[in-house]
Amino acid sequence: MMSNNTIRVLVSIVNYNSSDLVCRMLKQLVSQLDITRDKVIIVDNNSPDDSVQVLRKFIDAKDLKHTVLLVESEDNGGFSYGNNLAIKHAINYLKTPPEYVWLLNPDTYLLDDALNNLTSFFHKYPDAGILGSSLEGENGELQESAFRFHSLKSELLSGLRLGVTDKLFSKYLVSPRYISTQPEIVDWLAGASMFIRYSVIEDIGLMDENYFLYFEETDFCLQAKKSGWDCWFVPSSRVIHYVGQSTGIVSGDSLRRRRPKYWFKSRQHYFLKNYGLFYTALADLSWGVMFSLHKILDIIRLRFKNDPKYLWFDFWRNSIFFSWLDRL
């Protein structure tokens, strides 16, 4: 049972069928915590496997019950739902909000001083509201973890997928073509390692649970920006990210795997919520028309790229123009 002290850092980990990954990352995470002031809450999102039993056994075996709390959710409500549940439990159980909330994916592993470099940065920059770590593959390759907000121009470029236009209009791409080695203010950050000043949550509320997975961190950062908080990429906080191992979305055949329906629902919710119906229709039309042109160019050039299966059909079927058919 966790002790009832003022919390400095609350670490939130959402698990779904990933108990082995969580156990691996906990070993390194705990070594960076101040166990008198930092707490970890693991929310199991109703995993159908033996995750709960494995995690309870690990917590007991490593004598982590004063630092780590396992919460069993009756539903798999997604990333926002799970993290919100962790934060609510921390406040209700410990009777005090944390100073910072750290969202960590199960498929991450902290490198030295990943946490200290984040807390130090917040002390130095009081207007910073959300920080993101530098994400790396297990072989040291850098991963994109800081991004620009979506726009009509980004949707045009994303649909067309043409190297020359990407180079000419790179400043409109959601994913920049470079990864900074210095701290910088960005639009939004990857949720695999997102460090949040609790004052931001007090200002804008918890994460939007209408997102099951994807776009929730984009939306959260956008709401923070609207409230005057800066989002910073902090490359000195380094975290290994075994991409997609906790979701199963990314694997050896990831490029051809069909994009899940909740991705399209999340995308549509993001545009509707933040930009309205007309803008959403323009965004869908921009991406859909450009992607159609992209496929035509591929046929002409006899180039068949590894796009997700049925992406053209799935996009239009889930666009603002046809998604209403789901309600019939």
Q: In which residue ranges of the chain is pLDDT below 50?
A: 1, 251-252
Please tell me the total number of residues recorded for the chain in this structure. Answer: 328
pLDDT attached to residue 251:
45
pLDDT attached to residue 26:
95
pLDDT attached to residue 40:
97
**175 burial via Cβ count (<10 Å: 0-12, 13-18, 19+):** middle
pTM beyond 0.85: yes
Output the six-digit token pair for 144: 């994109």
